[in-house]
Structure 1
């Protein structure tokens, strides 16, 4: 069994920070992760990031990738590379995957907050019950 993996890291300035967009296509599944570098990273910093932290990135998204076959003609590959350089740094697919990731994290946060509030209310109720019991016993 053979698994194909394709990864790209695009570093761009989003108007405020230098941001990296890591895209990965693994066995037909598309994943994306966003990294905020802050100040403009040097080539050495980017290389250090890829070597040390790439494996720790959490890629999200389960959309099957529409990876087309690479062109065999070198002139066509050159044209496609030039066209890719003219396109904006962030792809629509990456934006959708990041938005989906954000929504998932938001839903998880809401669920955890509701659970925490319910636990706190239960603890307050138990405390009041214990206090009533102690008063009833005359303590």
Structure 2
């Protein structure tokens, strides 16, 4: 059994910050993570990031996506590499994966916010109930 693993880190300037786009294909699953560096990272900083923090990145949020099959022919691999270099820094597949990740985070925070809101409303209701009870007793 052979497992195919491919990782790519693309660093680009998005107009405001230097951003790293880490794409990872493992056994047919495609994952992407966006890392904001802020100031322009040096080669040493990028190497340090890859060696120390790469394994902590969460590439796969949920469902697996399709991956391209590796080419057998070396000439085809060279053509695909040249084609990849001509493409823009952010692939549409990466954009879709990041959008799905953002949507999942948005839903989680909305759920947490509504949960917190109901707990606060319950606490206010209990406070009002206690106050009415104390007034009724004449305190």
Provide structure 2 residue ranges, at least 5 long, that are not aligned to the other structure.
Answer: none
Question: Does the CA-based 8 Å contact 1:6-1:24 persist in structure 2?
Answer: yes
1:27 aligns with 2:27: yes
Give CA deviations for 1:8-56 in whole Å, capped at 9, x if unaligned: 1111111221110111112221111000111111110001001111122
> Matches of residues 107-126 of structure 1 in structure 2 within 5 Å?
107-126=107-126
Paired residues for 1:86-101 under 5 Å: 86-101=86-101
Note the 1:10-89 alignment, pairs <5 A.
10-59=10-59, 60-73=61-74, 75-89=75-89
1:102-121 per-position Cα deviation (integer Å, ceiling 9, x unaligned): 11111111111111111000
Q: TM-score, normalised by structure 1?
A: 0.90
Q: Distance in 2 between matches of 1:71 and 1:19?
A: 32
Task: Give the SS at the match of 1:22.
Answer: strand
Give every structure 1 segment of 4 or more consecutive aligned residues whose post-TM-superposition deviation is greater than 4 Å.
none
Aligned length: 138
Which piece of structure 1 moves more, 92-101 or 17-26? 17-26
RMSD, matched Cα: 1.6
CA distance in structure 1 between the partners assigned to 2:35 and 2:62 by the alignment: 16
Deviation at 1:64, TM superposition (A): 2.6
Q: TM-score, normalised by structure 2?
A: 0.90
Provide the C-alpha distance between the structure 2 equivalents of 1:136 and 1:2, rounded to a whole number of angstroms.
76
Q: Which runs of 5+ in 1 are unaligned?
A: none
